[in-house]
Structure 1
Amino acid sequence: MLGPPRHPPFDPSWLRRTADLRREGTEPSRGGWRQVRVGVWLPTDTDATLSVVDRHAALVHATALSHSSGDRLEFARESAAAVWGMPRITPWPRIVRHLVTRRGVSGSSVLRPYLGGEAECSVVHGLRVTSPARTVVDLARTGTLEDGVAAADHCLRHRLCTAEQLSAELALVAPRAPGRTRARAVLELADGLSMSPGESLSRVQMFRLRIPRPRLQVGVFDTAGHIGDVDFWWEGVVGEFDGHTKYRLPPGVSHEEAGRVLWSEKKREDRLRRQVEVARWVWADLVRPQRLLTILGEKGIRPERRSTWIDRAHRSGSV
């Protein structure tokens, strides 16, 4: 299952330099433009449509434009993730990371070196960035478990890389290198059937709470046929993330069409509840994991005495 279409990477053609705009008779500081970095601007109407990942990607591209050797920089970690369009759970940083393989490389208030091993880079919209697999492993080693899993899920779902490529990148990391244990955990938890960052965070919190590992995107049927694929499945219980958006309406629909969509969704929900117990939660329940624990406990899904999510041979240290 491929899941929803992948959001295309940020298009840097929207960015303009101050000098170029002024040559055309436009003074960006007078309105209609947002300064992404000193000397690089973005139209405000375009800026208003950007996602949070696009905003960081814009900063990365603007940094390359304003740097004397921007075409030779190799962007890594969060910066590479944004250029690839990978999601993130925690806030995006206000700095840009580029890969260096030796110590002593200075940085600036925005552009910071990341010391790491040599990487085979890809070119995305003119920028040199670490490969998706290398980016995921770097994120997993240096960041949070939830950010690593969200990025890994996204890459597997959209076939930016394979599980084998992720494992091969991890194998290049020295056994006692900082963050290797967390990176191993990310690879163990990653699943290309996860359809959104919210589902990724749900699984991370289930792992931390020692909730039994669910199956993902399981089809539920009744005598009338296929009801739908559910986010999480335990025997006799399904879990659905983001209950407050279960009645999704396409933009611009008429009142009549909206009514038909809502009625169809209600009938689906009724059919589902006649077959299984249904647990629903929203983002606020995930950032307060005890809420998720309560929601699942009310449906009979309770913590295991010992987590079975990760092979014990790989368990060492905190993740």
Structure 2
Amino acid sequence: MGQKVDLRLAALLDEAETRTSCLVPANDADRKALDRRKPAEVICPRPGLYARRAKWELLKRHPDIRALMVVRGLATQHPDWAFAHVSAALAHGLQVSGRSLGKIHLATNQTAHTEGSGQIVRHCVPDEELAECVSVGGVRVTSLLRTAFDCMRSLPADEALVVADSLLRKTGRTAWWLVRTIKDAYCGWRGIGRALAVARFADGRSENGGESMARAAIIRQGLEVPVLQQWFFDPVEGLGRRVDFAWYNEAGELVAIGELDGACKLEDADKVGKGGATEVLSAERRRESRLTFSKVPVVRFTFAEATRDGYLRRLLTTAGVPMREPGAVWARVRRMGTEERPVMVYDRVA
């Protein structure tokens, strides 16, 4: 009997992992059987949600995947719930900063109880907005544009830029499309100024959240906005090499190249190959030596260095990256990076 239960639970956990979801047991017997396996084999990220401990530990460096598993598990538990804000962004496949993932965000109508409860944040949404919610992978969520707009108008600028960049990456659209669309759809809504300020700097060429947040730090510190994912010709191997950031002066001349270092390049054994970290470091040094053929400084910095006030400015200006006189929108984005996180609002300005 014990072996049959083990096999059934294993199959249920496998199926949930395939859906990137926590397991919601269908009956009391399975729940009790899962509880008996805590905490050695199974953990409970939230009451009534289960995941393999080994799988959960493997996702330690992927809080967004963990959060998505919780959202999908909650959607199974509560099929009438409508998710909003960063919870909906995860379901839509948008990238979200790990700093934004501490709570579950729900959209409720104006007659429902809307106060936060523990880790659940409820936002009052007009009935017509709830009617426009869509199902994505079995999760009922606010629309893609509404979700992105809500994140962009409420999150700190660097985290908002992560969402905006991933929206453009997902849709293949441009920053100016996003600006026009937000103006047309949400004119008069609270927070539209913040959303538009972020939208003007959004760029779908940003490959991940780390690059987006590093670019936000560059913007906030008054440095020239870099061009992303530029290709440079390697005359030795006769192929192109792509860089994270490239800066040009007013004459259109390349002045510096920037590369954001990621710890995952060295830590992920599945990616570094047989040679391990040594092979990765060797390849990175060889790649950087080829980039020097462009005869401009090649600057490497980590995410932690990018977020240190003043350090990145000194590093990049020393390499020749020009400062930019901030205009009204630019100054607004810089200020947004340091002010307190605003309260999330869903209603129009009266």
TM range (shorter): 0.7 to 0.9
Q: Secondary structure at the match of 2:44?
A: strand
Match of 2:302?
282
1:38-88 deviation line (CA, Å, top 9, x unaligned) = 22221212222332012222332333344xxx2122100011122234333
- Summarize the Cα distance change of 1:80–1:20 in structure 2 as closer, same or farther, 3 Å threshold: farther
Q: Secondary structure at the match of 1:38?
A: coil
- Which of 233, 238, 251 is equivalent to 2:246? 233
The answer (yes or no) to whether the contact 1:9–1:85 under 8 Å persists in 2 is no
Report matched runs for 1:235-314 at 5 Å. Answer: 235-242=254-261, 251=270, 253-255=273-275, 262-275=281-294, 276-307=296-327
Match of 1:16?
25
1:273-314 deviation line (CA, Å, top 9, x unaligned) = 13121111101112213111011011111322335975x9xx
2-structure distance, mates of 1:309, 1:166: 13
Aligned-partner residue type, residue 218 of structure 1 = Q
Q: Which is worse superposed, 136-145 or 114-123?
A: 114-123
2-structure distance, mates of 1:230, 1:30: 44
Match of 1:97?
105
Displacement, 1:191?
0.5
Higher fraction of helix: 2
Aligned-partner residue type, residue 58 of structure 1 = M
Match of 2:184?
171
Aligned-partner residue type, residue 293 of structure 1 = R
Q: How many residues were matched structurally?
A: 304
Aligned-partner residue type, residue 53 of structure 1 = D
The answer (yes or no) to whether the contact 1:153–1:194 under 8 Å persists in 2 is yes
Q: Secondary structure at the match of 2:146?
A: helix
1:173-227 deviation line (CA, Å, top 9, x unaligned) = 243x332111001211111101111110121111111211221111112544334
Match of 1:63?
74
- Please, which runs of 5 or more residues in structure 1 have no aligned partner? 1-7
- Summarize the Cα distance change of 1:126–1:147 in structure 2 as closer, same or farther, 3 Å threshold: same
- Summarize the Cα distance change of 1:109–1:17 in structure 2 as closer, same or farther, 3 Å threshold: farther
The answer to whether residue 91 in structure 2 is matched with residue 83 in structure 1 is: yes
- Summarize the Cα distance change of 1:161–1:306 in structure 2 as closer, same or farther, 3 Å threshold: closer
Aligned-partner residue type, residue 288 of structure 2 = E
Q: TM-score, normalised by structure 2?
A: 0.74
Q: Which is worse superposed, 156-165 or 96-105?
A: 156-165
Match of 1:5?
none
The answer (yes or no) to whether the contact 2:169–2:205 under 8 Å persists in 1 is yes
Q: Percent identity?
A: 26
The answer to whether residue 156 in structure 2 is matched with residue 156 in structure 1 is: no
Q: Which is worse superposed, 123-132 or 293-302?
A: 123-132
Displacement, 1:9?
9.7
Match of 1:48?
57
2-structure distance, mates of 1:244, 1:94: 23
Q: TM-score, normalised by structure 1?
A: 0.81
Q: Secondary structure at the match of 2:97?
A: coil
- Summarize the Cα distance change of 1:318–1:152 in structure 2 as closer, same or farther, 3 Å threshold: same
The answer to whether residue 82 in structure 2 is matched with residue 74 in structure 1 is: yes
1-structure distance, mates of 2:195, 2:64: 22
2-structure distance, mates of 1:277, 1:165: 33
